[in-house]
Structure 1
Amino acid sequence: MRKIEITPVASKRDRREFVDLAYRLNGSDPNWVAPLRSEAMELVTPGKNPFFEHADVELMLARAKGRVVGRISAHIDRLALAQPPEQGMGPGTGNWGLLEAEDEDIAHALIARAEGWMRMKGMDRVLAPLSMSVWEEPGQLVRGHDHPPTVMMGHQPERYARWIESAGGYAPAKSLLTYELDIRKDFPPLIQRIVAAGEKNERIRIRKVDKSRFDEEARLILEILNDAWSDNWGFVPFTEAEIAYAGKKFRPIVFEDLIMVAEYDGEPVAFMMTLPDLNEVLAPLKGRLLPFGWAKLLLWLRKPKVRTMRVPLMGVRKRLQSSRMASQLAFMLIETIRQNAVANYGASRGEIGWILDDNQGMVAIADALETTINREYVIYEKVL
C-alpha cells in the first residue's frame, strides 16, 4: 500500500500547488469551467479573501512519493458558530471543502485528516463540503454533471459523492437546487395577472440599480439579503469587509437593467440580482487571461450576449414574507428582468438558484414559473 503524506499548506509554492491541482484533475471534464487562476488563488489566500477574518482555516495537501495527489480545506467559521443550531450551523460545527483527489483512498485520508483537525479545535459535528463559505460554492454536485455550471456555481466529479458517502458516517443534511426555464416564453396567465395587478399599485415601484451609486446600492441589497435570509438554514451574515469584497467582484458583471429593487411606499423591501453567465466566455480561456483572454473578456463585458442568465440572489424583507405581496414582488422583479434579458442580451435560458429544497416559498415560485430542476448539490453532515 502506497504511503500518503498529508501536510498543511505552508508556503507560496504549496498554495500554488493547492490551486493547480484542480486544473490538472478536472481539465479533461468537458463540463468543468476553469476559474480564473487569479481568483482561485485569491479564494485561498489570507488578506485577500475576507472569509479568513472570521474563520480558522487549514489548507492541506496530500502527496505520494513527493507528488501532489489531493487537497482539502478544513475551516471553522466563527460567525457560523454563533448561529442558532436549528438553522444548520451553530456551536461545535466545522466544515471542510475544496476536495480534490486522484482516488478514493486519498479522498478518505484527506477527509479523516480534516475531521481530526476539527476535533482538535473542539468541534463535534461537520457540515461539508463548503468551499469555503456557504456563500461561495456549497455542496457536492449529485445531479447535473451533463452540462456546465453557470457563473459562481460549483462542478465536481460524480465520483466524489460516492467517496464522501463511503468515508463513514456522512448523511445528507440538505439539498440545494437550481431551476432552469426558457425565458423567451411568456409566463403562465396567472403570473401575468399578478404582475399586472402589481403594476397598477401606485405604492409599488420597481427600479433599476444605479451603478453611479454602486457602493450604496450594494450595501442596500446586502442589507436586505441579511434580513431576508436570516432564518434560512445555513445562513451566515455578511460582514462589512465581505460586502466590500462582493461589490468589487460583482461590479464588472453588474448591469443596471438586470438588478432590480422593489420599493413599497418608497422603502426598498425586495431585490433580485441577475448575472449574465460569465462562464460562457470563461470556458475557452482555461483559467488564463494571457495572452488574449483579457481582450476577449473586456470586449464581452462591454455588451454581453449570452444564452443563460443566472439569478443567484433575491430576497424580500422578512416582515413581508408571509404576505401575498412577497410573491407578487418576486414575480414583478422576475418578469421585468426576464424582458430585459431577452431584449438587451439575447438570452434564452434562465437559471434560478441555488434554493434550499425545503424553502417552500421559493420552491412555490419556481413551480409557478413552470421551471425544471437542472442541478442538485448535497451538503452532508457527520457527528465527529
Structure 2
Amino acid sequence: MPCAISIVNTKAGLKEFIRWPHQLYRNDRLWVAPLDQDEWNTLYPNWKENGSAKTRFLLARRGKEIVGRIVGIAIPQDYISGNLLRVRWGWLEAIDDPEVFSALLSAIEHWASALHAQVVQGPLGFTNLDKAGMLIKGFDALPTIVELYNPAYYPVRVEQLGYEKAIDWIENKLIVPGKVPEKLIQLARVIQNRYRVKTLQIRKTAELLPYGQELFRLINETHRHLHGFVLFDEANAATYLKKYFRLVNKDLICIVQDDRDQMIGYGIAIPSMSKAFQRAKGRLYPFGIWHILRASRKNDRADLYLIGVKDEYRNKGITALLFEKIMQGFIDQGIREVESNPELETNSQVQALWKNYDFVQHKRRRCYQKLLDKSL
C-alpha cells in the first residue's frame, strides 16, 4: 500500500506527531525519548506560526498507521536580500522504507520550491539548541538528551535521494582525571591576575537565574559564526531557560566576569540525563521527575553543553578558568566520563580544548543538503 502524506492541522494531530517515535523505537535500547512537554513547548508555537518561522508539519501514513514524520522550516535568518536561501527540515523519523523517506522529503522539497528556496538542509531545528545532525558514526553509543538519534538506515535512505554532505559535527568522550592538572590551576591563576577576571561565585543554583538573558546575549556573540546559527531573542531565551534550568547543577557551570562584572565567558555541563529520560518515557509526571532528580544528584557521566568566550578575550586563556572549575566539579560529583556533545568539524578552537586530556572521538553526525530543481 502506498503511503499518503498529510499536513498536521489539529492539536490532536500534533500530539500524534510528538508521540509516534515512542511506537517506532519501542524496542530500541539506545533511543532517548524527549519529554513530551518539552517537545510541545518547542513545536506548538511554531506549528501555530505564532513566531517568525514558516513551517510545514507532515505525517506519512499507510492506511491508518503512521509510518513517518517531518517538519519543514523557513526562518527569517535564512533570507538574504528578500530571497529565501534555505529551507530546513528536522524531526525526521521513519520506518526503514525508501518510499516513506522519498514521500516525506519530496513533500518538503516541493514546499520549499513554492517558497522559492535554493536549497534544503537537514536535520536542523529552529535554533542551535534544537537537535540537529544525522548520526553517521557511533550507532552503538547512547545519545545525550540534546542529540538526535537515528538507526544506521537513515543516512542510507537520505543519500539515495540525492542528499549530500553540507557539514559534519564530531563528538568526543572525555575520561575525567583523578585531580585537576596542576598546570591548569597555575595557568588559571596567571590568566585571572593578568586580565583581572574572576569566576562568578554562587551558593545555590537559583542564583544563576538573573544571569540567564545576559548568558544568551553572549551565546549570540560567541556562536554567531557557526553553521546555521539563529540569534536568540528574549522570548526564545526564556523558553530554553525554562527547558534546561531544572537540569542545572551549580558545580558544573562556570561564568567568568571582567572587573566590571560583565560576563565574558561561560561553560555549562549537566549530569547525564539519558538513562533518566529513557525511564521517564516522555512523561515528566508522575515518575519521570523522580528519575531526573535522582540522575542530577548521583551520576558518573556528564554532558558538556556550551562553552564560549567573548571575542576580545579569545586566545587569552579564559578557557583555563572554565575548565578548572568545571573539572573540579566533575571530580567532586564523582563524574568519570564526559560527552562533548556535537562540535562542528571546522571549529578548531573548541577541538583544541581537548588536546591535553584523555579523550576519544566516538560519534559523527551530518547535516545534509540538496539543491532544488526549479521545475518542482
Q: TM-score, normalised by structure 1?
A: 0.88
The answer to whether residue 323 in structure 2 is matched with residue 334 in structure 1 is yes
Q: Is the 8 A contact 1:308 1:348 kept in 2?
A: yes
Q: Is the 8 A contact 2:78 2:85 kept in 1?
A: no
The 2-side partners of 1:224 and 1:189 are apart by 29
Letter in 2 for 1:283: Q
Counterpart in the other structure of 1:279? 274
Counterpart in the other structure of 1:375? 363
Q: Is the 8 A contact 1:142 1:161 kept in 2?
A: yes
The 2-side partners of 1:382 and 1:30 are apart by 32
Gap change, CA 1:347 and 1:370, over 3 Å in 2: closer
Residues 33-42 or 235-244, more deviating: 33-42
Deviation string for 1:122-168 (max 9, x for gaps)?
A: 11111111144332101101112212112322211111011111112
Gap change, CA 1:50 and 1:183, over 3 Å in 2: farther
Gap change, CA 1:107 and 1:132, over 3 Å in 2: farther
Counterpart in the other structure of 2:78? 80
Deviation string for 1:308-359 (max 9, x for gaps)?
A: 11111111112232xx31xx2112211211111221x221111223211011
The 1-side partners of 2:229 and 2:37 are apart by 28
Q: Secondary structure at the match of 1:137?
A: coil
Counterpart in the other structure of 2:166? 173
Letter in 2 for 1:356: L
TM-superposed CA distance for 1:190, in Å, is 5.3
Which of 247, 269, 287 is the aligned partner of 1:292?
287
Counterpart in the other structure of 1:106? 100
> Across the two proteins, how many residue pairs are aligned to each other?
369
Residues 149-158 or 195-204, more deviating: 195-204
The 2-side partners of 1:223 and 1:109 are apart by 39
Counterpart in the other structure of 2:155? 161
The 1-side partners of 2:238 and 2:42 are apart by 15
The answer to whether residue 341 in structure 2 is matched with residue 346 in structure 1 is no
Alignment of 1:88-127 (within 5 A): 91-102=84-95, 103-127=97-121
Q: Secondary structure at the match of 1:62?
A: strand
The 2-side partners of 1:106 and 1:201 are apart by 59
Residues 210-219 or 232-241, more deviating: 210-219
Counterpart in the other structure of 2:307? 314
Alignment of 1:1-384 (within 5 A): 2-46=1-45, 53-81=51-79, 91-102=84-95, 103-168=97-162, 170-186=163-179, 191=184, 193-201=186-194, 203-208=196-201, 211-266=205-260, 267-298=262-293, 300=294, 304-321=297-314, 324-325=315-316, 328-343=317-332, 345-384=333-372
TM-superposed CA distance for 1:291, in Å, is 4.3
Q: Is the 8 A contact 1:208 1:259 kept in 2?
A: no
TM-superposed CA distance for 1:200, in Å, is 4.9
TM-superposed CA distance for 1:211, in Å, is 4.1
Deviation string for 1:254-275 (max 9, x for gaps)?
A: 2222211112333321111111
Unpaired runs of at least 5, structure 2? none
Residues 348-357 or 288-297, more deviating: 288-297
Unpaired runs of at least 5, structure 1? 84-89
Gap change, CA 1:50 and 1:247, over 3 Å in 2: farther
The 1-side partners of 2:304 and 2:80 are apart by 28
The 2-side partners of 1:82 and 1:334 are apart by 38
The 2-side partners of 1:34 and 1:353 are apart by 17
The 2-side partners of 1:369 and 1:258 are apart by 18
Q: Secondary structure at the match of 1:22?
A: helix
Letter in 2 for 1:149: P
TM-superposed CA distance for 1:15, in Å, is 1.3
The 1-side partners of 2:48 and 2:129 are apart by 12
Q: Secondary structure at the match of 1:350?
A: strand
Gap change, CA 1:218 and 1:61, over 3 Å in 2: same
The 1-side partners of 2:177 and 2:342 are apart by 21
Gap change, CA 1:311 and 1:130, over 3 Å in 2: same
Q: Secondary structure at the match of 2:116?
A: coil
Q: Is the 8 A contact 2:37 2:284 kept in 1?
A: no
Letter in 1 for 2:370: K
Identity %: 24
TM-superposed CA distance for 1:191, in Å, is 4.2
Gap change, CA 1:294 and 1:195, over 3 Å in 2: closer
Q: Is the 8 A contact 1:184 1:349 kept in 2?
A: no
